[in-house]
Amino acid sequence: MVVNGQVQNSFRLPDEEQAAHAALQQLISGHGLPASVDIRSAASPEGPVKDNEKRSAARGEDARQLIQGWIPGLPDSRIHVNAVGEDYETLRVLLRDSDIPGAREAMHVIETVPVWVVEGGRIVSSRKQQLMHIRGGETWNRMREDLYPLLRQTRIDIRFGETETLQESEVEIQMKRSDAPVLIYFPFDDATLRPSYRSNLQSLSRLDSLFKDNLPAPGDTILIVGKASMDGPELYNASLAKRRAEAIRRYITDHFPAYAGIVSLRADGESWQDLRAAVTADKELSEETRRQALGIIDSDVPADSKEASLKAVPGWRRFSRSLYPTFRSTSVTPESSLWQIPALSESELARAGQALELPEPITVELRPDSYSVPELSRQRALRPVLGISTNLLYDITYIPNYGLTSIPSVSLEYYPARTKHFTYGLDVEWPMWMHWDRRDFLQIQNITLWTRRYFRTREERFRGLYLLGSLNGARFGVGTNGSGWEGEGLGASVGIGHKWILGRSRFFFDAGIAAGVFYAQYDPYVYGHDATDRYYYDYAGDPDQFQMRNHRFFWAGPTRIYFSFGIDLFNRHPKRTKR
């Protein structure tokens, strides 16, 4: 309860409900009805997002009804309910002063990862999901025990008289900060501006809100600084940082041409000074790890040598996995005493999202009481070069008059290092069965070149639904009971398939179906010499008039069905991975 901006009494409900009611009636008798009642209700991040939003709203409504019961004559216009849903802002403040393992990593996720991570029109991750993965779920479980009960509280501020001098909470102050640069984040080895990546939607919306309402004045500048993490060669990362800065400049100049003349770029490349500051400030690093890391960072050796040496420091890989993504960014700083970078309200952010034509997020249910949390990643990420598999259907092929006739087959899939959706492959089938006693023959040499386009952006390995396009050439000699066909053909197909990774192993399962066309030239034959005395063809006539491949065959329809089992090979060396 606040009078003229000064806190008079504080109570915890329902334990002190009677005392609070009595104090309220005394203030009303002395000051009249309250000038305003501000209600802030929230929920912890456990359970489905939509359910938590409903809980937060229900708690706010319960508080409204309580106040209306206590102060029957208070106009509804003086009661303001702010149901914030999952209260990540308070959680971030609580984490700052906590000793929970992984608190720093959790703060980083809250500050940089949006509630929903959308790529290609699909939700691929979420802030909650990434929080649940920190340190194998240990951080999440500690937050559930120590901090989440504090997020379920509802705060009621009953204010009498002047309220302008009321001291703001730290959360409110942080939400209104406008002195920090706007950060745009990029995926590893990528300089494409992606509004749906991490917190980019909010950052771009803040810039749009600034530029659309102001025009540049003399002396105003916009400084864009591109950065990259330490993974990969230093020269490459310097170029990558420059391309990231240029991507942001294009966005500003394309949308707000009036600012084109005041934009300046700077490519900082690998941020070794920022890395040193992070190592020095991190409280969770062991003293030995910190000492070794700072010794390497402060040394005079080339940057690429520093990178290689840091990877050998115990505990460094886990530390760098959480820190390096923050360096893959570009900062935008409008330099003017008149400019402010506004923080957006939830409604403004929602309108900004609609303007960017992002899809409406779906509800993803993550139930921590029944959710098995795996490790965030293995000590050394598996980034294979080549996959090899066999078609299980070919292995159990049954052909009438032949019986069980396995068709040897090998499929190779190449995973390029610098692509996020496409892979390339080669299939070879070579059955060479010959049953001379029965005059049965199954001799095929077929080679297929193909490419796949995976719908899901590659993380460490390609997986999920994909489209398939292929070209093949074949030679064949197929016969039974002493007669058959021999020839050559060409085909083209398109199809769809799905690839599953089997746990954390290198093994995978692959299934798909394709349809297309196949054109062949062939000749029928019978076993034994005929008039040509050269081939076993079913031909009667003048041998000098004989010409091979007089027959044609054209097929349009299903061309392939496969169920494959395979393994990924040749893990890519970390030095070749650029971030």
Three-class DSSP category at 502? coil
Per-residue pLDDT reduced to its tens digit, 371-400 = 223 333 333 456 788 999 988 887 676 666
123 or 20: whose pLDDT is higher? Answer: 20
Give the separation between CA 349 and CA 553, rounded to whole angstroms.
61
Per-residue pLDDT reduced to its tens digit, 2-15 = 787 677 777 778 77
Structure tokens at 497: 């398939």
Give the separation between CA 131 and CA 96, rounded to whole angstroms.
15
Residue 543 lies in a domain: yes
According to DSSP, the residues that pair with 398 across neighbouring strands are: 404
405 and 487 share one domain:
yes
- Average the pLDDT over each of 254-263, 457-466, 522-531 and give the range with the smallest value: 522-531
One-letter identity of residue 531: A
Based on the structure, what is the number of domains in the chain? 2
Give the separation between CA 270 and CA 328, rounded to whole angstroms.
9
One-letter identity of residue 524: P
Other CB atoms within 10 Å distance of the CB of residue 14: 9
Q: How far apart, in Å, are the Cα atoms of 456 and each of 52, 444, 466?
A: 29, 35, 8
Mean pLDDT of the region 222-250? 88
Query: Do residues 139 and 17 make contact, with C-beta atoms less than 8 angstroms apart?
Result: no
- What's the N-to-C CA distance of the chain in angstroms? 52
**pLDDT confidence of residue 272:** 85
**Confidence at 538, pLDDT banded by 50, 70, 90:** low
**How wide is the angle at C-alpha 446 spanned by C-alphas 442 and 449, nearest 5°?**
165
Give the separation between CA 390 and CA 563, rounded to whole angstroms.
8
**pLDDT confidence of residue 403:** 63
Domain termination residue (choose one: 342, 370, 400): 342
Residue 73 lies in a domain: no
Mean pLDDT of the region 223-252? 88
Mean pLDDT of the region 263-273? 85
**pLDDT confidence of residue 367:** 30
Asked if residue 138 has pLDDT above 90, the reply is no
Three-class DSSP category at 151? helix
418 and 497 share one domain:
yes
List of residues 6+ apart from 25 with CB closer than 8 A: none
Mean pLDDT of the region 261-283? 83
**pLDDT confidence of residue 513:** 94
428 and 530 share one domain:
yes
Question: Which residues in 507-522 are b (16+ Cβ under 10 Å) and which e?
Answer: ebebebebebebebeb
Three-state SS annotation for 214-247 = CCCCCCCEEEEEEEECCCCCHHHHHHHHHHHHHH
573 or 408: whose pLDDT is higher? Answer: 408
CATH classification at residue 289: 3.30.1330.60
187 and 332 share one domain:
yes
337 and 390 share one domain:
no
- Average the pLDDT over each of 113-117, 212-216, 546-550 and give the range with the smallest value: 212-216
Mean pLDDT of the region 338-356? 49
Most confident of 158-167, 472-481, 508-517, 561-570: 508-517
Pairing of strands 221-228, 263-270: parallel
315 and 393 share one domain:
no
469 or 382: whose pLDDT is higher? Answer: 469
CATH classification at residue 468: 2.40.160
397 or 114: whose pLDDT is higher? Answer: 114
Q: How far apart, in Å, are the Cα atoms of 444 and each of 12, 389, 554?
A: 82, 19, 18
pTM (2 d.p.): 0.37
Residues in the chain: 579
**Confidence at 254, pLDDT banded by 50, 70, 90:** confident
Query: Do residues 423 and 452 make contact, with C-beta atoms less than 8 angstroms apart?
Result: yes
* Nearest CA-CA partner of 561 in 388, 386, 396: 396
Residue 225 sits at φ, ψ, to 5 deg, of -120, 120
414 and 303 share one domain:
no
Give the separation between CA 347 and CA 329, rounded to whole angstroms.
26
Residue 117 lies in a domain: no
Domain termination residue (choose one: 311, 342, 373): 342
* Nearest CA-CA partner of 251 in 181, 180, 201, 177: 201
**pLDDT confidence of residue 514:** 94
| Average pLDDT over all residues of the chain | 78
Give the separation between CA 578 and CA 418, rounded to whole angstroms.
9
Structure tokens at 481: 């009971």
Asked if residue 508 has pLDDT above 50, the reply is yes
Residue 522 lies in a domain: yes
**pLDDT confidence of residue 526:** 78
**Confidence at 180, pLDDT banded by 50, 70, 90:** low
Asked if residue 343 has pLDDT above 70, the reply is no
Residue 228 lies in a domain: yes
Q: Where are the beta strands (DSSP E) in 316-356?
A: 329-335
Pairing of strands 6-7, 2-3: antiparallel
List of residues 6+ apart from 280 with CB closer than 8 A: 290, 294
Mean pLDDT of the region 79-92? 84
According to DSSP, the residues that pair with 475 across neighbouring strands are: 445, 488
549 and 414 share one domain:
yes
**Confidence at 369, pLDDT banded by 50, 70, 90:** very low
**pLDDT confidence of residue 359:** 36
Most confident of 160-174, 184-198, 529-543: 184-198
Percent of the residues in the chain that have a pLDDT greater than 70, as a whole number: 81
**Confidence at 370, pLDDT banded by 50, 70, 90:** very low
263 and 389 share one domain:
no
**pLDDT confidence of residue 408:** 86
**pLDDT confidence of residue 86:** 87
**Which residue range forms the structural domain that includes residue 390?**
384-576
Residue 360 lies in a domain: no
Mean pLDDT of the region 484-512? 91
Residue 211 lies in a domain: yes
423 and 556 share one domain:
yes
Report which DSSP code applies to 71: -
- Average the pLDDT over each of 24-38, 356-370, 380-394 and give the range with the smallest value: 356-370
**pLDDT confidence of residue 364:** 33
298 and 401 share one domain:
no
Give the separation between CA 20 and CA 26, rounded to whole angstroms.
10
Question: Which residues in 402-426 are b (16+ Cβ under 10 Å) and which e?
Answer: beebebebebebebeeeebeebebe
Radius of gyration of the chain (CA): 34
Instruction: Cis check for the bond before 14: say yes or no (omega within 30 of 0).
Output: yes
Domain termination residue (choose one: 287, 313, 342): 342
74 or 466: whose pLDDT is higher? Answer: 466
Residue 243 lies in a domain: yes
554 and 414 share one domain:
yes
